[in-house]
Amino acid sequence: MWTFEEKAVSNGFFHVAGVDEAGRGPLAGPVVASAVILPDGFVAGEINDSKKLTPKKRDQLYEVIMEGALAVGVGVVDAAEIDAINILQASLKAMKVAVEKLSVAPDFLLVDGNFKVPMMLPQEALKKGDSRSVSIAAASIVAKVTRDRMMKEYGALYPGYGLEKHQGYPTKAHREAIAELGPSPIHRRTFKGVSEYTEPVALF
């Protein structure tokens, strides 16, 4: 899990940040990204792709990362902006914001997925990076836990959809709730499963 970090350091880089996002697939809520720089000697323990961990384990590791990381940044792009610029561009923007919020400036990025962050920094995009790089795995945990906690708050703010249970993903219960209640202010109106229940905008 340290292979890519060690390779970057051997090439002369000092502060390698792992970058990942959570929330590309849901019908509601923001997309959240995180950037994490881990220090030398950090004990990774059970850190892995957040999707492979239980919610309890994610919460535990989130605290370990927040306490032990050299720097952590988080970027959030809300549903309205996702609708305006599309989910891919919103995800990349959230990643850029997360990197910019790091208290220690990175000189190399390891990014989960096929796309690089739109900024002038040396970087490498890694398919399935959250299970290949410890820094990306740490970022995936921070992004997922941060977003899940936000969705729990949205569940209380917009009751009836079960957002605190499915985090906005298109479960059967969630789709039925949208059909019955209509979209909430945090639903992504351009997404199939929501767009069918959105009033068309009047053109003047």
Q: Which of 154, 156, 183, 175 is nearest to 30 (CA)?
A: 154
pLDDT above 90 covers what percent of the chain?
Answer: 91
In angstroms, rounded to a whole number, what is the distance separating the alpha carbons of residues 168 and 87?
Answer: 14
The number of beta carbons lying within 10 Å of the beta carbon of residue 13 is 15
pLDDT at 159 over 70: yes
Half-sphere exposure of 32 (CA within 13 A, CB side): 22
pLDDT at 188 over 90: yes
List, as own/partner pairs, every contact residues 154-158 make where C-beta atoms lie below 8 angstroms and the sequence separation is at least 24, other chains included: 154/28, 154/29, 154/186, 158/184, 158/185, 158/186
Q: Where are the domains of the chain?
A: 3-146
Residue that is written with structure tokens 């795995």 in the block: 137
DSSP tag of 202: P
pLDDT per residue over 3-13, tens digit each?
Answer: 999 999 999 99
Range with the lowest mean pLDDT among 64-73, 129-138, 191-200? 191-200
Confidence label for 201 from pLDDT (cuts 50, 70 and 90)? low
pLDDT per residue over 38-96, tens digit each?
Answer: 998 898 888 988 889 999 999 999 999 999 999 999 999 999 999 999 999 999 999 99
Query: Which amino acid is located at 86 in the chain?
Result: N
**CATH code for the part of the protein at 3-146:** 3.30.420.10
